[in-house]
Amino acid sequence: MIVVGQPERATQNRVVALLRDELGYAYQGNLAGRPDNRNIDAAALTAWLTGRGVGPAVAARAVAALEAAATNATHDIYTRNRNVYELLRYGVPVKLAQGVNTVVVPLIDWKHPEANAFAVAEEVTIRGATTYANDKRPDVVLSVNGVVLGVLELKRSTVSVASGIRQNLDSQKREFVEPYFATVQLVMAGNDTEGLRYGTTATKVRYYLEWREEGAAPAGPRLDADVRSLLAKPRLLEVVHDFVLFDFGTKKLCRHNQFFGVRAARDFVRRREGGIIWHTQGSGKSLTMVWLAKWIRENIADARVLLVTDRTELDEQIEGVFRSVNEEVVRTTSGADLVAKLNAPSPWLLCTLVHKFAGKVGPDADRAVDVAKVVAALPSNFRAKGDVYVFVDECHRTQSGELHKAMKGYCRTPCSSALPARHC
């Protein structure tokens, strides 16, 4: 039984035991007395790499490259964190000598969570970044293969989670231990009554997120249920690998609705079916589209994505969101341009107004569309190239009218039976 107002230490003991005994994290102990706690344990990472058959020289170069990205004082903490993330997600390119092929060294096995070395430590004393900076001691620190990915502050149930969030923000200041957060992906705070709140580096208090798992409410403390949901090995790696964005100076994580929406959409993609994700205003549909589009590109051969809206303002907005995360999106300029770009094998990412499928733009574009005439006017050699997936924004306004029929007409043009059907 959980006693309201029980000491914070009791909550911490229980959470650490859950991570160790139930979720399978190796327990590194209480590290308050260790003098050199760092966000990259070079010995642990090297041991993991060599245990997977990476040669000692290559492993040393890979570890050195990660440490260099994390400690580069010429970059601000946002840039360091982004550079570290890219090495963690995509691997470290290593070239030992001139004329020798570059090898990419994975620092995490994203596809096989149990192949990684997950560890939990508590009371981790971090020395101040300079002689003038103060030390900090996070309650719980999570690492994978020796690289710190998560920091968790815990409070007793009578103390607001916001207090733990503010502690996290203080720790990230220059006068404290800012450099330590160069590798951190999840920054968390929690108590038994409010559960777990999560953000990432520099996330402000009001933007910390609440995780809600699918299904019935679990028994026991809410904090424990949230830890089981978010910090289970496969889930932690999936969130870090597939749901992190660096957006013009702001690092972002997914909300639970975005996570489960994209997951469900993936299943529809695998089954080659269409579907609907219903959003309310402000629920992050643009970022949902980004995460789904990136997954499709990385996991579906010859994939292309077409983003369809019904207003110029939305067209511009979606273009801006994708560009902000370094995804080059091409806007079509006319109906003819739309046809030409679909008829070519690139670019992989397009956005267009739905009216351009009928060769019209304007408030009356959905009236009196002759779909047969639209399809007949397509070039004789027209066939949308690649495996095309169509995302329709604000579909409730356009997916029951003539413009929808015109768009579907593009998918019904003759194509080789050896090629995949279009996904409209």
Give start and end residues of each alpha helix (H) in 91-187.
161-171
Residue carrying structure tokens 């800012």: 178
One digit per residue, pLDDT tens: the chain, 424 residues? 455 556 889 999 999 999 999 999 999 999 998 989 999 999 999 999 999 999 999 999 999 999 999 999 999 999 999 999 999 999 999 998 887 889 999 999 999 999 999 999 999 999 887 777 789 999 999 999 999 999 999 999 999 999 999 999 999 999 999 999 999 999 999 999 999 999 999 999 999 999 999 776 777 899 999 999 999 999 999 999 999 999 889 999 999 999 999 999 999 999 998 888 887 777 788 899 999 999 999 999 999 999 988 777 777 777 877 887 788 888 888 888 888 898 999 999 998 887 777 665 445 554 555 556 666 677 778 888 999 999 888 665 556 666 666 666 666 544 333 333 334 3
Instruction: Decide if 266 is inside a domain.
Output: yes
List the 209-210 sheet strands across, edge first: 26-30, 118-122, 140-144, 147-154, 186-191, 195-199, 209-210
**Is the domain of 112 the same as that of 139?**
yes
**Is the domain of 175 the same as that of 227?**
yes
**Is the domain of 38 the same as that of 187?**
yes
Alpha-carbon distances of 330 from 238, 338, 386, 411, rounded to whole Å: 29, 10, 16, 20
**Is the domain of 81 the same as that of 225?**
yes
Distance CA 170, CA 80 (A): 18
Residue where a domain terminates, one of 208, 240, 272? 240
**Is the domain of 265 the same as that of 145?**
no
Which pTM was predicted?
0.88
pLDDT in the model for residue 417: 30
Q: How many domains is the chain built from?
A: 2
**Is the domain of 266 the same as that of 292?**
yes
Helix H or strand E encompassing 206: none
**Is the domain of 160 the same as that of 280?**
no
As given in the structure block, the two tokens for residue 383 are 């066939």
β-bridge partners, 50? none
Instruction: Decide if 22 is inside a domain.
Output: yes
**For residue 284, is it left (φ>0), alpha (ψ between -120 and 50) or beta?**
left
Give the range of the structural domain holding residue 273, as residue numbers without chain letter: 256-411
Residue 24 CB coordination number (10 Å): 13
**Is the domain of 18 the same as that of 92?**
yes
Instruction: Decide if 3 is inside a domain.
Output: no
In the DSSP assignment, the letter for residue 173 is S
pLDDT in the model for residue 423: 41
Q: Are β-strands 250-253 and 103-105 bridged in parallel, bridged antiparallel, or unpaired?
A: unpaired
pLDDT in the model for residue 39: 98
Instruction: Decide if 407 is inside a domain.
Output: yes
**Is the domain of 337 the same as that of 367?**
yes
Residues near 74 by Cβ (< 8 Å), separated by ≥ 6? Answer: none
Burial code (b: 16+ CB inside 10 Å, e: under 16) for 152-167 equals: bbbbbbeeebeebbeb
Instruction: Decide if 40 is inside a domain.
Output: yes
Residue where a domain terminates, one of 240, 268, 298? 240
CATH for 322: 3.40.50.300
pLDDT in the model for residue 7: 81
**Is the domain of 211 the same as that of 317?**
no
Instruction: Decide if 417 is inside a domain.
Output: no
Sign of CA dihedral 69, 71, 74, 79: positive
**Is the domain of 166 the same as that of 219?**
yes
pLDDT in the model for residue 102: 93
**Is the domain of 59 the same as that of 185?**
yes
Residue where a domain terminates, one of 210, 240, 270? 240
Instruction: Decide if 249 is inside a domain.
Output: no
Instruction: Decide if 383 is inside a domain.
Output: yes
Distance CA 265, CA 267 (A): 5
DSSP class per residue in 240-272: HHHSEEEETTEEEE--HHHHHHHHHHHHHHHTT
Helix 222-231 × helix 233-242 angle, to 10°: 60
